[in-house]
């Protein structure tokens, strides 16, 4: 057992002292067996939510409907969820309500894939009724129980299977893959929000190229917003080293660029992305449209798009062109560092200074003057220093006359 689990042991021991069962479950146990970094340690217990809240002094009822209580332990929040089954599934989605049960087996049985259905007790022993450890050793993703049934219960699991391929580099077990091909169309019943969560994780995985191949092979792509007509272009996406991209905005930009999507805003809105992210993607795509090669990054263009957007655009551009993104990125960072100013905030003169110098009322002329100054500073015509800029802007005799 490693540190993240050890830190949470107190919760399991306390529940046991009160006569309940409690185990570590889900993604953290899988990732531990894979030697991957663990983020959230989840706990499953036979105690009902009220019982959990009665035992621990600091709890937050985050999802009582689903049996989840957050327990604060040494200041760290842990999700403690009552053993449950999911009752009856309707419309190919996970039901809103769940049924609490007292057996771990039933809780593991409702989980999606065998690798995600392993429990670990407080001594580090595994409870693995569906041979999840063997699946992990063989690096395969297979459903708990009959794949066809599990995907028709909750169609999102088909996307989860493919995003786990992207994250872990595993293969889909044959029956599991065949069932996805068979039932991909059930994804029409799944909300865009849930699809987006999985798709973003899919794009971010180290084996994203494999996952894109699978999206095409299984026809899952046909049920994703804006992608139904993009089979060939999507297949191309499997030829690229996605991990070269380091943010969601870069990944969406790369996708839109290679899929040749013109109505960018409406495409991204179909995926219900946040406005902030949509703006970032549009800025990167705009930057891409003005540079076709590294040589096109002039000082003026870099200043116009800003450092962050320029670096993102360069990462995308390098990947599209099969160039070394790290080298290009470093060269661009050097170029950025040599700019006398990076943003307007860096300019030693403000609009107010300009208004004072000329003694005129503000108006569009102030913005024009600031732009003129920025260009002059970027071009090295004048130093970014207040008095020098004033002298350059207002010839001596003009100020002199005014002073008289
Ligand atoms: P991640 O690393 O993305 O958090 P995870 O395996 O922890 O991966 P979660 O979405 O956090 O995935 O879910 C936690 C656990 O809940 C899973 O390991 C799995 O056992 C179960 N689970 C999640 N979603 C489903 C689902 N749609 N159907 C069945 N079981 C699910
Ligand atoms: Mg998780």
Going from the Cα of 386 to the center of ligand 1, the distance in angstroms, rounded, reads 58
Q: Examine the pLDDT at 401 and tell me if it is beyond 70.
A: no
Question: For residue 110, which ligand has an atom nearest its CA?
Answer: 1
Ligand 1 pocket list (CB less than 6 A): 26-27, 94, 111-112, 116-117, 154, 156-157
Q: Which of 58, 55, 59 is nearest to 19 (CA)?
A: 55
CA 89 to chain centre: 29
Tell me, what's the pLDDT at 292? 83
Residue with CA nearest ligand 1 atom 12:
27
**Yes or no: domain 1-138 corresponds to CATH 3.30.460.10:** yes
Tell me, what's the pLDDT at 208? 97
Distance CA 241, CA 302 (A): 26
Q: Which residues are annotated as a binding site for Mg(2+)?
A: 40, 42
Residue 236's SS3 state is: helix
Task: Write down the residue that tokens 């999802």 correspond to.
Answer: 63
Residue with CA nearest ligand 1 atom 18:
26
Q: Examine the pLDDT at 82 and tell me if it is beyond 60.
A: yes
Tell me, what's the pLDDT at 404? 44
Residue with CA nearest ligand 1 atom 9:
27
CA distance to 27, 33, 142, 224, per residue, from 36 (Å): 10, 8, 20, 29
Domain boundary assignment for the chain: 1-138, 140-239, 242-339, 346-403
Q: Which residues are annotated as a binding site for ATP?
A: 27, 30, 111, 154, 157, 160, 163
For strand 99-100 and strand 84-85, is the pairing parallel, antiparallel, or unpaired? antiparallel
Tell me, what's the pLDDT at 135? 98
Task: Write down the residue that tokens 């805003």 correspond to.
Answer: 265
Distance CA 169, CA 162 (A): 10
- Whether 318 and 324 have beta carbons less than 8 Å apart is answered as yes
Distance CA 233, CA 251 (A): 15
Atom of ligand 1 nearest to the CA of 157: 27
Atom of ligand 1 nearest to the CA of 31: 2
- CA contacts within 13 A on the Cβ side of 60: 9
Residue 309's SS3 state is: helix
CA 367 to chain centre: 38
Going from the Cα of 28 to the center of ligand 1, the distance in angstroms, rounded, reads 10
Q: Examine the pLDDT at 402 and tell me if it is beyond 70.
A: no
For strand 126-127 and strand 119-120, is the pairing parallel, antiparallel, or unpaired? antiparallel
Q: Residue 341: count other Cβ atoms within 10 Å of its Cβ.
A: 16
**Mean pLDDT, rounded, for 343-361:** 93
Q: Examine the pLDDT at 399 and tell me if it is beyond 60.
A: no
pTM for the model: 0.91
CA 37 to chain centre: 17
Q: Examine the pLDDT at 74 and tell me if it is beyond 90.
A: yes
Going from the Cα of 326 to the center of ligand 2, the distance in angstroms, rounded, reads 31
Cα-Cα end-to-end distance for the chain: 83
- Whether 120 and 5 have beta carbons less than 8 Å apart is answered as yes
Angle at 32 (CA atoms; ends 26, 33), nearest 5 degrees: 95
- Whether 165 and 211 have beta carbons less than 8 Å apart is answered as yes
Tell me, what's the pLDDT at 212? 97
Backbone angles phi, psi at 211, to 5 degrees: -65, -35
Query: Which of 116, 143, 151, 166 is the pocket-test mutation for ligand 1 (most atoms within 8 Å of CB)?
Result: 116
**Mean pLDDT, rounded, for 42-62:** 96
Tell me, what's the pLDDT at 398? 57
Mean pLDDT estimate for the chain: 93
Going from the Cα of 27 to the center of ligand 2, the distance in angstroms, rounded, reads 5
ipTM of the complex: 0.98
- Whether 38 and 134 have beta carbons less than 8 Å apart is answered as no
Fold of 242-339: Methane Monooxygenase Hydroxylase; Chain G, domain 1 (1.20.58)
Q: Examine the pLDDT at 259 and tell me if it is beyond 60.
A: yes
**What percent of the chain has pLDDT above 90?**
88
Which tokens in the block code for residue 147? 């794949």
CATH number of 140-239: 1.10.110.30
Query: Which of 111, 128, 144 is the pocket-test mutation for ligand 1 (most atoms within 8 Å of CB)?
Result: 111
Fold of 346-403: Serum Albumin; Chain A, Domain 1 (1.10.246)
Distance CA 111, CA 135 (A): 15
Tell me, what's the pLDDT at 396? 64
- Between residues 388 and 98, the one the model is more confident about: 388
- Whether 334 and 326 have beta carbons less than 8 Å apart is answered as no
Residue-wise pLDDT tens digits, 264-309: 999 999 999 999 999 999 999 999 999 888 888 999 999 999 999 9
- CA contacts within 13 A on the Cβ side of 309: 24
Question: For residue 27, which ligand has an atom nearest its CA?
Answer: 1
């Amino acid at each position: 057992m490693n540190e993240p689990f050890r830190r949470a042991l107190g919760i399991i021991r306390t529940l046991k002292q009160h006569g309940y069962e409690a185990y570590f479950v889900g993604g953290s146990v899988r990732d531990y067996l894979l030697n991957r970094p663990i983020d959230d340690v989840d706990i499953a217990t036979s105690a009902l939510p009220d019982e959990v809240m009665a035992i621990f002094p600091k709890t937050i009822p985050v999802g009582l409907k689903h049996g989840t209580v957050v327990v604060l332990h040494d200041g760290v929040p842990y999700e403690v969820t009552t053993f449950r089954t999911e009752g009856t599934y309707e419309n190919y989605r996970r039901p809103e309500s769940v049924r609490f049960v007292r057996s771990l087996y039933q809780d593991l049985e409702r989980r999606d894939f065998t690798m995600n259905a392993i429990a670990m007790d407080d001594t580090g022993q595994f409870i693995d009724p569906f041979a999840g450890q063997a699946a992990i050793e063989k690096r395969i993703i297979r459903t708990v129980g009959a794949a066809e049934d599990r995907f028709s219960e909750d169609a999102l699991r088909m996307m989860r299977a493919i995003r786990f391929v992207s994250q872990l580099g595993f293969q889909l077990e044959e029956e599991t893959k065949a069932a996805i091909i068979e039932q991909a169309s059930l994804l029409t019943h799944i909300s865009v929000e849930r699809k987006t969560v999985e798709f973003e994780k899919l794009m971010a995985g180290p084996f994203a190229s494999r996952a894109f191949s699978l999206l095409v092979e299984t026809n899952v792509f046909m049920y994703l917003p804006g992608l139904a007509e993009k089979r060939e272009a999507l297949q191309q996406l499997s030829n690229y080293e996605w991990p070269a991209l380091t943010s969601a905005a870069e990944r969406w930009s790369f996708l839109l660029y290679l899929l040749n999507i013109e109505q960018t805003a409406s495409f991204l809105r179909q995926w219900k992305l946040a406005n902030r992210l949509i703006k970032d993607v549009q800025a990167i795509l705009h930057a891409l449209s003005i540079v076709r090669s590294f040589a096109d990054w002039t000082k003026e263009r870099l200043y116009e798009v800003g450092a962050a957007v320029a670096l993102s655009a360069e990462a995308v551009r390098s990947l599209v062109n099969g160039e070394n993104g790290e080298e290009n990125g470093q060269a661009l960072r050097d170029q950025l560092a040599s700019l006398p100013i990076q943003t307007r905030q860096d300019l030693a003169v403000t609009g107010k200074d300009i208004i004072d110098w000329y003694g005129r009322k503000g108006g569009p002329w102030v913005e024009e003057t600031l732009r003129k100054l920025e260009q002059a500073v970027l071009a090295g015509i004048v130093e970014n220093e207040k008095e020098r800029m004033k002298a350059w802007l207002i010839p001596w005799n003009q100020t002199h006359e005014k002073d008289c």
